[in-house]
Amino acid sequence: MEPIAQPDLTQALDRMWDKFLPELEQRVAFLERANAALAAGTLNVDLRAAANAAAHKLAGVLGTFGLTRGTVLAQEAEIIYSGEPDTDPSNAARLQQIAAELRATLASRK
């Protein structure tokens, strides 16, 4: 079996990126909504768990595309949202920064 040529691999990754980008943007938007709820003091257990899951999925997919910084940021958000029993509201500013950096990371790959 012949190895995949670099241009073919790059084109395949670009097609995958185009396919997954809307979902990635939705996950970042979800993290932004969860952060707004945290800042407002209305983050409930279900929303926190869903934000944790969204961050986990972002970390994995961004790593697949070589976006290491995005993976690190998403993992940090995942850790913050895994706080038991509640996510500390003092983390709202950091989570806002993470979401903004994740959004910039997605834009840089387009």
Choose the weakest-confidence range: 13-17, 33-37, 44-48, 87-91: 87-91
Looking at residue 109, what is its pLDDT? 83
8: in domain: no
pTM summary value: 0.87
pLDDT at 104: 96
Domain that holds residue 55: 21-109
Look at residue 63 and tell me if it is in a domain: yes
pLDDT tens digit string along 38-77? 999 899 989 999 999 999 999 999 998 989 999 999 999 9
pLDDT at 7: 75
Contact 99, 27 (CB under 8 A): no
Comparing 74 with 9, which gets the higher pLDDT?
74
For 70-97, the pLDDT digits (tens) are 999 999 999 999 976 667 888 899 999 9
Decide if pLDDT at 102 tops 90: yes
76: nearest Cα among 65, 64, 86, 68: 68
Whether residue 16 lies inside any domain: the answer is no
* Residue 102 placed within a domain: yes
| Cα–Cα distance, 49 to 83 (Å, whole number) | 10
d(CA 98, CA 110): 19
Alpha-carbon distance values, 16 to 12, 19, 45, 66 (Å): 6, 5, 33, 13
- The reply to whether 4 falls in a domain is no
| Residue 9 domain-assigned (yes or no) | no
Number of domains composing the chain:
1
Block residue for tokens 């500390």: 88
Asked whether residue 75 is domain-assigned, the answer is yes
pLDDT of 110 strictly over 80: no
Q: Is residue 69 part of a domain?
A: yes
